Structure 1
Amino acid sequence: MRKPNDFDKPLEIRYHEVEKGTYCPDCFHKLEKSSERKYQCTQCDKIFTSRMIIEESCKDLPILFPNIVITTPLLYDWFGGQMSDHNLRRYLKMYRTKHPFNLLHKKK
């Protein structure tokens, strides 16, 4: 039988204590908006679409905060107001039709 270790414990991260904004999925530095739907990393100079950034966050948020329900206001806050609520709403609507149970239900 396997012994429990620190990796078995749930993460203890408080949502209100996390710094909000858009971050590079590769090097984790801040992203700056370079055009209407594109962001550029201040460190590695890679360019990401807003859709790529939203998709990564929709994967990461449930891992960091297992009981969270992903909504447009939550994503708007998570990105520090850097993305339009219209863009976020449009993406969530599309994502929910592809993966309806990933975002709609709280995990117990």
Structure 2
Amino acid sequence: MKEHAFDIRIEANLIFVNPEFCLFQAPRNLPIILPGQMPRFREKMLNQTSPIKHSHSNLAKKLVSLHMKEDPFPRNYYYPYEQLEKGLVCPQCKEFYHTVKHSLVVCELCGGRETLEDAVVGAVEEITMLFPRRTITTPLLIDWCRIIKDRRTIQRVLKKHYDFKGRGKYARYTNRGNTQSPSGQPTPLKV
């Protein structure tokens, strides 16, 4: 704050919001707020507020201008494709789908349902998130989805949701809306 010529005192506190959390033998002199202390801390904060001054507005503008759009320390994770358990996951109970009924995938555990179209689009999103440089192919999606074996179903969804470019073995799909890959190029999705 001082390097930007703001003379505003900032008090830091470590706040645990999980109501089931318990911290044993914590030193009393640390600025820690436990879940049971939250109501009293909130009241104290509300009673200590002062009117917003011009310096507060300037500070807010400065903080917004300093906001970093990209993480300077990106996390690069490696997931070996062959070692991952593949399949479509039910959004309600997070278990794998095992059944396809008509145009739906159905969870046998909780009864959750999702259209085949939504499931395939979700699978493409998962793969591109986990493997941003990997080209999306129909065989890859068949392998990833496990229970959707029909090539035409997957191609129909890709054609509906992605832009088609090229021919034959060079045919590919690109994300609509010009979604960019980490290299700044549109992410290719191959047939």
Shorter-chain TM-score above 0.5: yes
Amino acid across the alignment from 1:11: Y
CA distance in 1, matches of 2:137, 2:116: 16
With the length of structure 2 as denominator, give the TM-score of the two structures.
0.46
The number of residues matched between the two structures is 104
Higher relative contact order (CA 8 A, sep 6+): 1
Structure 1 gaps of 5+ residues are none
Name the SS for the 1:48 alignment partner.
Answer: strand
2:93 counterpart letter in structure 1: C
Equivalent positions of 1:10-89 (< 5 A) are 10-80=76-146, 82-89=148-155
- The question of whether the paired residues in 1 share the 8 Å contact of 2:97 and 2:105 is answered with yes
Return 5+ residue gaps in structure 2 as ranges.
Answer: 1-71, 164-174, 180-186
The structure richer in helix per residue is 1
Out of 154, 158, 168, which is 1:92 matched to?
Answer: 158
1:22-54, Cα deviation, whole Å (9 max, x unpaired): 221333201132412111123321111111111
Identity of aligned residues (%): 25
* SS class of match (2:91): coil
Larger Rg: 2
Aligned residues of 2:100 and 2:147 also touching (Cα < 8 A): no
Q: Which moved more, 1:17-26 or 1:47-56?
A: 17-26
- Give yes or no for contact 1:30–1:42 (8 Å, CA) kept in 2: no
Structure 2 CA distance for aligned equivalents of residues 66 and 26 of structure 1: 26
Q: CA deviation at 1:13?
A: 0.4
